[in-house]
Every structure is written in C-alpha cells, then in structure tokens.
Amino acid sequence: MSAPSVSAALPLSARIAVVGAGAMGTGIAQVAAAAGHAVSLLDNRPDAAAHAVAAIRAQFARLADKGQLSADAAQAAASRLQAVTELAELADADLVIEAIVENLDAKQALYAALEALVGPDCLFATNTSSISVTAIAARLQRPERLAGLHFFNPAPLMALVEIVSGLATDPAVANTLFATAAAWGKTPVHAKSTPGFIVNRVARPYYAEALRLLQEGAADIATLDALLREAGGFRMGPFELMDLIGHDVNFAVTQSVWRAFYHDPRFTPSLIQQERVDAGFYGKKTGRGFYDYRDGAVRPLPHSEAAQPQPGTIVLYGSSPASQALAQRLGERGVAFAQAQASDARVADVDGATLFVSDGRSATQRAHDSGIANTVLLDLALDYRQASRLGVTVAEGCSDSAAQAAIGLLQAAGLAVSRLRDVPGLAVMRTVAMLANEAADAVNQSVCSATAVDAAMRLGVNYPLGPLAWAEQIGVGQVCAVLSHLAASYGEDRYRLSPLLQHHALTGKALS
C-alpha cells in the first residue's frame, strides 16, 4: 500500500458521536472525551448510554484518585460526555463512530438514517471487526466519507487502531482518522478492507497451528502452551488464550475469515475447536474449554523430560543464535565444551547425538536425508539465551542413549526440555513461520505495509516481535525452508509460501 499523505487530526472543537454503548462504544467514548472532545453517546437499549456515561465518569474519578489524571482534568473530561436518546441529537456531529451490533443490515440502516441528519462534512467511522467496510458504505450517498476505525478491547488500554479503507473511502478521510487516532494517544495503522483486516487475519495461524499440533498428538495442551510462552516469548499460550477469548468468538472469527477468503485452506477451522463449541465448552466464561476452570479442577502441568546425566563430550558448532546461546549458558554453569566449525548446520554433537534447529522437516526425515541416524531437532526460541524451556524431536532410529545425551545437554544449559512427537516444524518454529507467511501475504496483497503489520501484531495481540521482524531474526531463507518442508510433508496448500518471503529470501533485501 502506498504511503498515505499526512492529514491533520480533527480539532478538539470537533463533536464526536458514539453509537452503541456496549463494551467497545463505552471505551471509545472514554478515549475521545479524555482527549478533549465533546462526546455524545447513544444506544437503542433504554438507559444503556446513561449507564455507560456514569461508568466512564466513575472511571475518570478512579484515574484521578490514582494520580493518573488531575482532578480538574477528570472533572473536565466527565463534563464533556453526554448520553442522548434520539438519533436527531447527533445532527451536529463532526464524526460518528459506530460500535453497534455486528450486523451489516443494522449498520447500513444506522448510517442511512444518519446521512439524512448530519452535515455534508461529517465523517463516519465503523468499529466493525469482521464486516466489509466497503459493504457498510455501499448504501450511502457519499460512501467516501466512511472508513473503519477498529479499536481493540479494552479501547482505553489497547494502543492499536486499524484505520480501514473500503473501496470508496476517500484517502483524506482515512488520513484524518489516522491523525485523529494518533492525537488520541493511539498507534494507528492503515489497512485495506479485506477479511480480518490485519490482526484478525495474521493471528489465525497462532491458533490454527496449535490446534493442528494437538490433533496430531504432538504434545498435550499444557506443554504446547508452555513452549509458546517459555520458548516463543508469547504472553499467553494458544490454548489458554482461546479459552480466554471464548471458543464461540474465536471459532466464529476463524470461520468468517475462512468463508470470506472462499475457503482458502490457510484458514480452515479446526474440528477440535468445533467440538468445544458444540459442547458449549467456550472456555473460562463457561468453566470449561481446553482447561477446566471449575472449582477443584487441577491445572495440568507441561511435560518436562526427566533429568538426564550431563553428557561427557560436548562440541558446539558455528555461530547460530542457538549455538551461541548454548555456549553462553553452559559457560555460566561451568560446563566444559569444545567449539568447532561444521560443513552442515548442526548446532552440537554430544555423545553420539547430533542436534540441529528445525528446518521444517521431521527429525526422521532429516535423519533419512542426511544419513545421521542419531538426529535430534531443536525448536525455535525467541531468544535462546533467555528461554526457560525448549522443544525437541528425536528421529525414529535415534538410540536412547543419544537422545538422553541431547536432552542432558539442554538440561545442563538450564533448559526444561519438552519432547514432542516427531512432527515437522515442531511447535514454535512452525507457528512463527506461519505467522510470518501470513504477514508477508497481507503485505504482498497490499492490505498494509510491512511496518504496519509488525506494529499491529505487537500492539493488537502483544506478540513479542512483529512477524516480519521475527522472520528477519530467524533468517528469511530459513523461514522459507521451514514452510517449503511443511508444504512437502503435508501436501497441503495451507503451507504454500508467500511470494514476498520467496522474493526476499532470493534478494536478501530487508523485509521489515
């Protein structure tokens, strides 16, 4: 997407109307009032807007009590808010932000009614998560005045706002909303109106790969969650996160993105999640999801390998992040090792075992291809120096003593070791490769810029690194190898490589 030109934010004298006083509308009204605008809040449920205004005022008072806002500022922000009961009371609005029910007909009907009331320069913004902004604008006489202004929940706390342009959106409108969101203390990113916009599209593999790994018996949920947290650096593992979001909501988003992309296999929903929805096991809110939240339920622990003896001889190879981190961690613990160069990508040799970082092949496939029977593969870590746990897979023909030596090496370096079934790409590596692939495709298809996708995933879903910056850190060529090997293993279009990643692997040009 070409760089948008700079526009000024709406002035503080601009009157903001928020329609829909639910979770999102209330948060958005709070943000706009705190920024200095007069805000009118409307809901079609009797008293809902008045309750929301009271709740926001109480929130301003709490912020003042905590010293995060001066008493005067809290008072002034509170006085800028008003609840209204009739659409006609929004006639003088300069910007209407809609956060009503997620239904195309309802949103179109609201804007049709509004267009008859407001002035010609009034801007329309929709907070929709999943409906086409182009379709919402389609019935307007002036569709160019409408864009998506997609806040994340809770709106006062989450920095990201996706500014979504539909086919008819005037770039000047998108730019004004961009500048306005920035003036409100948010980090806006531009996106084109495509299914899932940026975050809800690019995040799909975080859930999808975990569900696939579970379906294939790679490991149990607690172990997979622990690997994504402790090695991957994600704030929450995929299963605990899906339980928090609610499987009803998470599954609906997956289905909506999948349908909107005409059943692209990249987004195929999981039967495992479908079953949770069918059972009413929606997650934390219903007491059961992947985990059991009922009174007395015991939280399962991740699986860690039993302690193995420290290997007799350790040779570390090359200068990969894994090899350097092992050297540092062993050195800090007073464990002796030698260092050497190898003609292949091996990280270490220990008592007969050869360790490599995953390139997307299973350990058994890699042992077959290389002739090294005692092959042990390491999963990806965000930072091998900081990780507290690492996943491994072991080739079918690897001896028990070699596997134990490999595990003993990682334990001697202070890592808990989770051994997965010998699935291609392990857990963190294939998840991050698929996130980077989706991010690259979003950029390749002009949905957003590389900077925007990385910022969106860090700020919208708290990823420790943007997926493209992460691909750079791993090596774009390595990510391409992982995806190509996954595609070869599964024979599925789901793992097809983004042309943008291929291009950057060939040219060596920076992605992010």
Distance in Å, CB of 103 to ligand NAD, minimum: 8
- Residue 243 lies near ligand NAD (rule: CB under 6 A): no
- Shorter beta-carbon distance to ligand NAD: residue 33 or 392: 33
Residues 6+ apart with CB under 8 A from 281: 247, 288, 289
- Please report, for residues 145, 358, 364, 457, 463, the alpha-carbon distance to residue 469 in angstroms, rounded to integers and kept in the order given: 34, 19, 30, 11, 11
Cβ contacts of 253 within 8 Å, gap of 6 or more: 129, 130, 196, 200
Total length of the chain:
512
Binder among 1, 54, 102, 167 for ligand NAD (CB under 6 A) = 102
| Nearer Cβ to ligand NAD (249/373) | 249
Residue 440 binds ligand NAD, judged by CB under 6 A: no
Q: Single out the segment in contact with ligand NAD by CB under 6 A; choices: 121-129, 192-200, 212-220, 334-342.
A: 121-129
Q: Which long-range contacts (CB under 8 A, 24 or more apart) does 116-120 make?
A: 117/87, 117/88, 117/90, 117/91, 118/90, 118/91, 118/92, 118/93, 119/91, 119/92
Q: Which stretch binds ligand NAD (CB under 6 A): 123-131, 307-315, 353-361, 367-375?
A: 123-131
Among 15, 33, 43, 276, binds ligand NAD (CB under 6 A): 43
200 touches ligand NAD (CB under 6 A)? no
Q: x/- contact string, 45-84, with ligand NAD (CB under 6 A)?
A: x--x------------------------------------
CA–CA separation, 385 vs 320, rounded Å?
A: 12
Chain residue at closest Cβ approach to ligand NAD: 22
- Catalytic center residues: 129, 150, 162, 200
Measured from the CB atom, the residue of 129 and 358 that comes closer to ligand NAD is 129
Distance CA 317, CA 329 (A): 15
- Comparing CB distances to ligand NAD, the nearer of 150 and 346 is 150
Q: Residues 133, 107: contact at Cβ < 8 Å?
A: no
Q: State yes or no: residue 21 binds ligand NAD (CB under 6 A).
A: yes
Tell me which H or E stretch contains 22: none
Q: What residues contact 148, with CB distance under 8 A and at least 6 apart?
A: 125, 126, 127, 128, 133, 162, 163, 164, 165, 166, 191, 193, 197
DSSP labels for 254-290?
A: HHHHHHHTTS-GGGPPPHHHHHHHHHT--BGGGTBSS
Q: Confirm if 411 and 307 have CB atoms less than 8 A apart.
A: yes
Closer residue to ligand NAD (CB): 244 or 510: 244
**Residue holding tokens 């809800």?**
200
State the Cα–Cα distance between residues 88 and 116, nearest whole angstrom. Answer: 10
Other CB atoms within 10 A of residue 7 CB = 16
* Backbone torsions φ then ψ of 397, nearest 5 degrees: -90, 5
Interface residue with ligand NAD among 54, 106, 159, 342 (CB under 6 A) is 106
Residue 100 in the binding site for ligand NAD (CB under 6 A): yes
Integer Cα distance of 181 and 176 in angstroms: 9
The yes or no reply on residue 143 touching ligand NAD (CB under 6 A) is no
Stretch that binds ligand NAD, among 96-104, 210-218, 425-433, 495-503 (CB under 6 A): 96-104
The helix (run of H) or strand (run of E) holding residue 181 is helix 171-183
For position 462 contacting ligand NAD by CB under 6 A, the verdict is: no
Nearest distance, CB of residue 200 and ligand NAD, angstroms = 9
Q: Given the complex with ligand NAD, which of 128 and 180 has the nearer CB atom?
A: 128
Instruction: Using the rule CB under 6 A, give the single segment among 40-48, 185-193, 383-391, 492-500 that binds ligand NAD.
Output: 40-48
* Binding range to ligand NAD, per CB under 6 A, among 7-15, 36-44, 234-242, 439-447: 36-44
Binding test (CB under 6 A) with ligand NAD, winner from 18, 83, 93, 99: 99
Closest approach of ligand NAD to the CB of residue 107, in Å? 7
DSSP-based three-state secondary structure for 218: coil
Token pair listed for 42: 């409307």
What is the full DSSP assignment across 95-133? EEEE---S-HHHHHHHHHHHHTTS-TT-EEEE--SSS-H
Decide: is 404 part of the binding site for ligand NAD (CB under 6 A): no
Q: Is residue 24 at the binding interface for ligand NAD, with CB under 6 A as the rule? A: yes
Among 68, 153, 313, 388, binds ligand NAD (CB under 6 A): 153
- Which residue number, 199 or 348, has a Cβ lying nearer to ligand NAD? 199
Please report, as ranges, the residues that interact with ligand NAD according to CB under 6 A. Answer: 19-25, 42-45, 48, 99-102, 106, 110, 127-129, 151-153
